[in-house]
Amino acid sequence: MSLVRVTDLTVEFGALRAVDGLSFTLAAGAALALVGESGSGKSTVASALLGLHHGTGARVGGSVEVAGVDVQTASDEELRRLRGAKAAMVFQDPLSSLDPYYAIGDQIAEVHRVHARVSRRAARARAVEVLDRVGIPDAARRARSRPHEFSGGMRQRALIAMALACEPELLIADEPTTALDVTVQAQILDLLHTLREESGMGLLLVTHDVGVAAESVDDVLVMRHGRVVEQGPVAAVLGTPARPYTRELLSAVPRVDAVRAPSQASDEVVLEAVGLRRDFGRGRRAFTAVDDVSLTVRRGETLGVVGESGSGKTTLGRMLVGLLEPTAGEVRHDGHARAGVHPVVQMVFQDPVSSLNPRRSVGESIADPLRARGERDEGRVRGRVKELLERVGLEGAHYERYPHEFSGGQRQRVGIARALAADPRVIVCDEPVSALDVTTQAQVVALLGELQRELGLALVFVAHDLAVVRQVSDRVAVMRQGRIVETGPADEVYDHPQDPYTRQLLAAVPALDPEVAARRRAARRELASA
């Protein structure tokens, strides 16, 4: 008997058919990945398995059976018993899934009490037990911590612990590693694999990252526009894809072993950091985010800056742009020390939604640097903005549109256009593609490369994704705890890493070959138990 059986599933929101005739099964203890770009319908399918569309106005057709429960005909009480007790879900953003006012342990205990009807004391003990099981150190003490006191990886572990509290037969993980560093991502994926081995639970993994799927599952189902494109064993689908769309998806995946064609970089230094240091806080709460960092950026080249969250790379980027003042050291443009924001160095931010004013049209946001430079002729301003919109692959007519009317990739193009409006010599890109699908990611990376070649721009590409950095960079600087631990030409750093930390980062990058992924997982497990 299948743990999950979905037959001819359709989900419609008004005139939009988000899922169109989808069918698949998942056996007990097996793992299946739903892979596709944003808008493919994969998260809508995951929600349908738990009946989360009930009462929302969505029209759901077909048949969905999970752990013996007919989700389509189940009563509210039956669905409550299904959720948590038989099937549990781990969402992409743990902060929005956890109550900020209550301790982590209390939230897990409450879930257990709802389904198991045990005493408060027993529920608290169960919370500590599952937190320990997912690798939270000193679980009894940390159970009293609130969500903001946990790192991103620890919050995701806490959500997995909450899902495990009632020992479900099925775990649904919706983009569980999207916002995590490669080493933390590897830890979460290893944890999911271990939990499957120990408990025999089934896993449905929703992801846009093909590498994450290769690391985690037995079978893959590739979705596009709500329909199945291709499905089968993970090694077959990723190794010899039969459908053009699957091949297109795989070809867009950045590879950590790819070699970048040499750029047209010159010897002219356009940006230099000398002994940069940045401290935050005072007294015993003070800490150093960036510690004695020096680097140079030449005209036409790309310097990649990689490291985990907390390594100081974003703080460094903001000092290079002038958004943060160094505690010590200086930033030089064209050989001259500069303080504050200067048009010669511009920034493209990680989250284009928060960096664009939702109440202003994108055209007005792009026009800001032009007006700041003293341009008063509105005709010339609008004409230049339309040129920039077209230059980044949008339409001049998009001037009057607002940020919410664009996709994530289109909003990032708007951010690039705004940076170009100042006629910069250097653009600092802070995680510019981390939230994008692989195909959209590839398009934005290609656009940046095209602009660099045409305009002679220098790029500082700050990211935690080592594969993307390899794809775009001429030189790479690896940061850890505020310092650069290794730097050099990209090929040398990636192919012959000297620092143990660099080797650790590279070993955590997901492999598209499931056999390679299994060997790496075994090596990490052996290292952890040593």
Domains and CATH numbers, the chain: 97-167 (no CATH), 263-344+425-498 (3.40.50.300), 353-423 (no CATH)
For range 343-349, the mean pLDDT: 91
Per-residue pLDDT band at 179 (split at 50, 70, 90): low
pLDDT (tens digit per residue) in 55-112: 888 899 999 999 999 999 999 889 988 887 889 888 877 777 888 899 999 999 998 8
Rounded CA-CA distance 63/119 in Å is 37
How much is the pLDDT for 134? 85
For range 314-338, the mean pLDDT: 91
Per-residue pLDDT band at 152 (split at 50, 70, 90): confident
Kindly report the three-state secondary structure assignment for every residue of 91-157.
Answer: CCCHHHHCCCCCCHHHHHHHHHHHHHCCCHHHHHHHHHHHHHHCCCCCHHHHCCCCHHHCCHHHHHH
Closest CA to 434 of 320, 352, 508, 494: 352
pLDDT (tens digit per residue) in 204-263: 999 888 888 888 899 999 999 999 999 999 999 988 999 999 998 888 888 888 777 777
Looking up tokens 């994969």 gives: 42
Residue 297 CB coordination number (10 Å): 24
How much is the pLDDT for 157? 86
Tokens of 519: 């060997």
pLDDT (tens digit per residue) in 380-432: 889 999 999 999 988 988 999 998 888 888 888 999 999 999 999 999 999 88
How much is the pLDDT for 530? 59
Residue 438 has pLDDT above 70, yes or no: yes
What single-letter DSSP state applies at residue 324?
S
pLDDT (tens digit per residue) in 351-385: 777 778 889 999 999 998 888 888 788 888 899 99
Share of the chain above pLDDT 70, in %: 99
Residues 6+ apart with CB under 8 A from 167: 199, 201
Rounded CA-CA distance 527/516 in Å is 17
How much is the pLDDT for 32? 94
Residue 30 has pLDDT above 70, yes or no: yes
How much is the pLDDT for 497? 94
Chain Cα centroid distance, residue 395 = 28
How much is the pLDDT for 310? 80
How much is the pLDDT for 529? 66
How much is the pLDDT for 271? 94
> How is the beta sheet containing 336-338 ordered, strand by strand?
287-298, 269-280, 328-333, 336-338
Residue 1 has pLDDT above 70, yes or no: no
How much is the pLDDT for 316? 95
How much is the pLDDT for 54? 86
For residues 220 and 33, is the Cβ–Cβ distance under 8 A?
yes
Share of the chain above pLDDT 90, in %: 46
What rounded mean pLDDT belongs to the chain?
88
pLDDT, greater one: 513 or 393:
393
Rounded CA-CA distance 434/430 in Å is 9
